[in-house]
Amino acid sequence: MGNWIVNHGLDTFILVVWMGINIFLFVHFYLFYDLGPQFFYTRQLLGSALAWARAPAAVLNFNCMLILLPVCRNLLSLIRGSFVCCGRTMRKQLDKNLSFHKLVAYMIALMTAVHTVAHLLNVEWFINSRHGRYGFLAGNLSALEDDEDDHETFLNPVQSDSTTPTIFAFTTIAGLTGVVITLALILIITSSMEVIRRSYFEVFWYTHHLFIVFFAGLVFHGYGRIVRSQVTTDPPHNTTFCKDQPENWGKIPECPIPQFAGGFPQTWMWVIGPMVIYLCERLLRFVRYLQTVRYKKIVMHPSKVLELQLLKSGFKMDVGQYVFLNCPEISELEWHPFTMTSAPEEDFFTVHIRSAGDWTDRLIKMVENLPEGTLICQNGPFGTASEDVFDYEVSMLVGAGIGVTPFASILKSIWYKFKDSNPKLRTRKIYFYWLCRETHAFEWFADLLQVLEKEMEERGMRDFLIYKLYLTGWDHTHAAQVMVNFDKDTDVITGLKQKTHYGRPNWDKEFEQVRHENPSSVVGTFLCGPPALATDLERRCVKYSDVDPRKTKFYFNKENF
Amino acid sequence: MGKIEWAMWANEQALASGLIYLTGGIVGVAGQLKGWEYAAFGIAAGVFVCLLEYPRSKRAKGTNYERTGQYCFTVCVKAFGPLTSNYYVRAFLHAALCVPGGFMLATVLGCVCLGMASLIYLSAAIHGEHWQPIMPKSEPAKSVTQSIKHPPQNPPPRPPAEMRRKRAEDLESAAYVNPLPVTANE
C-alpha cells in the first residue's frame, strides 16, 4: 500500500480533486435550476429537464476551460523549468498531460450527450406548452410575448404556433451552434481513436483542428439568451399565490405580469483565458518554425539510420528532449517528432532518423541524392522526463530498440559533465539496459559506448556506468558464433568489453541487484519503449519500493510521444 | 497525406453514428416526441449500422486491431459477400439510412454523422478499398530447424571389443582405467 502511494499518490489526488469539482458543479447547478424560485414558472413548462440541461452545461464550461491547457507544450516546458525547486513528483505529473487531456475529453463527450438529450426534451416541451397541452398555466406562460406597450417579456422562446423542433433548432443561435459544435466534437472523437491516431496521424491532427469551430460555436452558444429566469418586479409577483390565476395577471395588484430576462452568457468567461494561452502557444511554435536551420553534418548509417547534425541560432536544449522536424519539400504541413541524440554541452543538435514510414523514407532517399541536404524546419525543444535523470542518485535507464535515443543524449551528457566535473551531476551510478531485436541497429550506438567504456577505464570509474545489452531476437546461428568466440575479451557482436546477453532481462533479478547494491537510495527508472514493458517495470518499481526512507525507493518515468 | 486507408476512419465514424442514431431514436420514442415513428426507424437503423460496422476490416498494410469479440460479426458480414465488402454499396446504404433521421430533431445528429460516414466511405471506395474479413490465423506446424546441436545417433567408431579389452601385458596403452585393480586370469 505504501509503495502504491509513493508511485501513484499524486495522480490519484489530482483525479479526485478534478472529479470532486465536476460533481460539485453538477449538483450545485442542478439544484440552482431545480429549486431556484426564479425558475418556478420555467419549471411549469419543462419540469426538471432544464436543470438536467444546465448542470452538465456547467461541467462543460469547466472542462472546456481545462482541455486546452495540457496541450500547451511550451507552457508546460516553462512550468517544468520553474518547478526545479518544487520536487520531481510535481514535474512527473506534467508527463501525464496527454492522459489528462483525454480524460477531460471523455467528460466533455459524456456531458454533451446528457446536455443534448435534455435539450431535445426541452424543445419538444416548449412547443407542447405553446400548443396548450400542459394545462392552463403553461399555456398562459407560453403566450407571453416581448411587448413594450403591454410591458410583457417572453418566457417560452417558442413564439410561433407552427414551428417544429427541427426548425427551432436551426433558427436559433443556440440550436444552430449546438448542432454544429456537437458534429465537430464527434468528428474529433472518431478521428482520435487509437487505431486512427497510431496509423494515420495526419487525419487525426487535421481533423482535431475542428476544435477551432468547437470553441467558436461554444462561445456564441448562449448569445440567444433563451434560458429565461423571472426578474423581480415592483410590486413583486408572488408565484405561490398567482400561479393558480393567470387570467388575473396584470389585473390585480398582487399579481403584476411576471417579467423575464435571459441569462447572461458566461461560457466565454471560462474559456477566454485558455484560448489566449493556446493562441500564444501556437504563435510561439510558428515563430520558431520561421527560424532557419542549417546542416552541420549528414551521416548515413547502415541499417537505414540517418544522422543529421543541425544548427539553429539561439537553440537551447536539455537532455532527452525532442524536436519536431518539418521538410516542406516532402510535406508542407507534416511535423514529426524526433528525440535528440546530442548532449546540451554540444553547440549543435543531432537527430537519428530511422526509416519507419512514408515521410522518413522519403527524407532518407532525398538526402541520399542531395548530399548537401534539403530545407528543414524545426520546432521545439519540448521537455520529457529524461531531464530528471541527473537528480536521482541512482538511475536505471531502459531503452527498447530505437527507444534508446533519449539515452544516447543522456550518456553523452554524462561524458561531458564527467570531463568538466560538473557539480550538477548528482548521479553516482547508472544502470543502462538496451533491449534490441537485431544486431545491426547497434552500430551507431556502439561507437558511443566504446568511447564511454574507454573514458571510464582511464578514470578508473568502471562501475559508474553499468550497461547490459539484451539481444531479444537471437537464434541458433548467434548461439553458434558466441560458443565459438567464447574466450575472446570483447563481445563478438558489438566489440564492447561488456558481453551481450541473449533473450529478455529477468527484471526481478535486475531490481534485486540494484536494490542490493544501493540500499537507502532513491532510484529513478526511465523507460523509452513499448507499453507492455512500461506496465512491467512500473509494477516492479512499486513492488521493490519501500516507504521507509532508509530503504530503496524506485520511481518510474515513462517517455511517450 | 500519408497512405491513409479511409475505410478505417469511415468505420469509426459509422459506428459512432450508429450509436448516436440509436440514442436519438430512444430519446424520441421514450419521450414520445412528435415524429416518434422516425425515431423508431432511427433505433432500427442505428442497431443495424452498429452490427454492420462492428467488425473491422483487414488492413491492406499494417497490423490489424480487432474489436473485442468481433469474430462472430465478421462471419455474418462476410456471408453477404459483395454487398458488404464493396464500399460503394455501403456508402449508398448509409446515405439512404440517414435520410429519415433528418425529419426529426432527436435523430438529426445521427443523420448528419451517418451522412459524413457515407461520404468517407465513398472516398474509400473511390480509392479502391474494400472490406476484408480478419480471419484467425492457422498456425503452420513448426518445422524443426537443422540444429548443429543434434546429439550423435551412432556411437563413435571403435575397434572391435576383442581389441578394446585391457591386456594384462600392455596396461599402459589401454584406453580405460579400472576402478579396481585387475589381475590376469590365472
Instruction: Grade residue A560 by pLDDT with cuts at 50, 70 and 90.
Output: very low
Cα–Cα distance for residue pair A59/A78, rounded to 1 Å: 28
Minimum mean pLDDT among A330-344, A381-395, A405-419: which range? A381-395
Q: How far is A12 from chain B (nearest CA, A)?
A: 29
A549 preceded by a cis bond (ω within 30 of 0): no
Interface contact flag, A202 B2, Cβ < 8 Å: yes
Cα–Cα distance for residue pair A344/A409, rounded to 1 Å: 8
> Contacts of residue A131 in chain B, CB cutoff 8 Å?
none
Q: What is the pLDDT of residue A240?
A: 84
> Contacts of residue B33 in chain A, CB cutoff 8 Å?
120-121, 124, 165
Instruction: Give residue-wise pLDDT tens across range B57-102.
Output: 888 877 788 888 888 888 888 888 888 889 999 999 999 999 999 9
In a domain, B16, yes or no: yes
Cell of A475: 537464434
Beta carbons of B125 and B1 less than 8 angstroms apart: no
**Domain enclosing residue B82, as ranges:** 6-59+67-126
Q: What is the pLDDT of residue A50?
A: 92
In a domain, B91, yes or no: yes
> DSSP state, A390?
G
Q: What is the pLDDT of residue A498?
A: 64
Interface contact flag, A165 B62, Cβ < 8 Å: no
Interface contact flag, B9 A169, Cβ < 8 Å: no
Best residue in B68, B105, B111 for a mutation probing chain A (most A CBs within 10 Å): B105
Instruction: Grade residue A420 by pLDDT with cuts at 50, 70 and 90.
Output: confident
State the first-to-last Cα distance of chain B, in angstroms, to the nearest integer. Answer: 99
Q: What is the pLDDT of residue A85?
A: 47
Q: What is the pLDDT of residue A144?
A: 85
Q: How far is A196 from chain B (nearest CA, A)?
A: 7
Which residue among A113, A124, A480 places its CB closest to the CB of B148? A480
Among chain B residues, CA nearest to A359: B2
Beta carbons of A306 and A367 less than 8 angstroms apart: yes
Q: What is the pLDDT of residue A201?
A: 73
Whether A509 has a pLDDT exceeding 60, the answer reads yes
Which residue among B13, B16, B27 places its CB closest to the CB of A120? B27
In chain B, which stretches have pLDDT less than 50? 1
Q: Which H helix or E strand runs over A522?
A: strand A522-528
Beta carbons of A380 and A288 less than 8 angstroms apart: yes
Cα–Cα distance for residue pair A135/A156, rounded to 1 Å: 14
In a domain, B82, yes or no: yes
Instruction: Give residue-wise pLDDT tens across range A212-224.
Output: 999 999 999 999 8
Beta carbons of A108 and A185 less than 8 angstroms apart: yes
B136 preceded by a cis bond (ω within 30 of 0): no
> Contacts of residue B103 in chain A, CB cutoff 8 Å?
166
pTM score, two decimals? 0.76
In a domain, B88, yes or no: yes
Average pLDDT, chain A: 83
Backbone torsions φ then ψ of A429, nearest 5 degrees:
-155, 140
In a domain, B90, yes or no: yes
With cell 403584476, the residue in question is A256
H-state helical runs in A36-96: 40-46, 49-67, 73-82, 88-93
Interface contact flag, B16 A200, Cβ < 8 Å: no
Instruction: Give residue-wise pLDDT tens across range A162-185.
Output: 888 888 989 999 999 999 999 999
> DSSP state, A296?
E
State the pairing for strand pair A553-558/A522-528.
Answer: parallel
CA nearest neighbour of A378 among A319, A311, A330? A311
Which range is most confident: A80-89, A114-123, A441-450? A114-123
**B176 SS3 class:** coil
In a domain, B170, yes or no: no
Interface contact flag, A193 B20, Cβ < 8 Å: no
Q: What is the pLDDT of residue B99?
A: 93
CA A553 to chain centre: 27
Cα–Cα distance for residue pair A50/A221, rounded to 1 Å: 16
Beta carbons of A240 and A288 less than 8 angstroms apart: no
**A356 SS3 class:** coil
What Rg value do the Cα atoms of chain B yield, rounded?
Answer: 36
Which residue among B1, B56, B105 places its CB closest to the CB of A202? B1
In a domain, B185, yes or no: no
Q: How far is A47 from chain B (nearest CA, A)?
A: 13
Question: Which positions in chain B have a beta carbon within 8 angstroms of at least one beta carbon in chain A?
Answer: 1-5, 8-9, 12-13, 16-17, 20, 23-24, 27-28, 31, 33-34, 56, 59, 62, 65, 102-106, 108-109, 112-113, 116, 145, 147-149
Q: At what angle do helices B36-53 and B87-98 cross, to 10 degrees?
A: 160
CA nearest neighbour of A409 among A323, A500, A493, A325? A323
Which residues have a Cβ under 8 Å from the Cβ of A230 and sit 6 or more positions away?
A: A37, A38, A39, A40, A41, A42, A237, A239, A258, A259, A260
In a domain, B153, yes or no: no
Interface contact flag, A357 B148, Cβ < 8 Å: no
Q: What is the 3-state secondary structure (H, E, C) of A79-98?
A: HHHHHHHHCHHHHHHHHHHH
Q: What's the total number of domains in chain B? A: 1
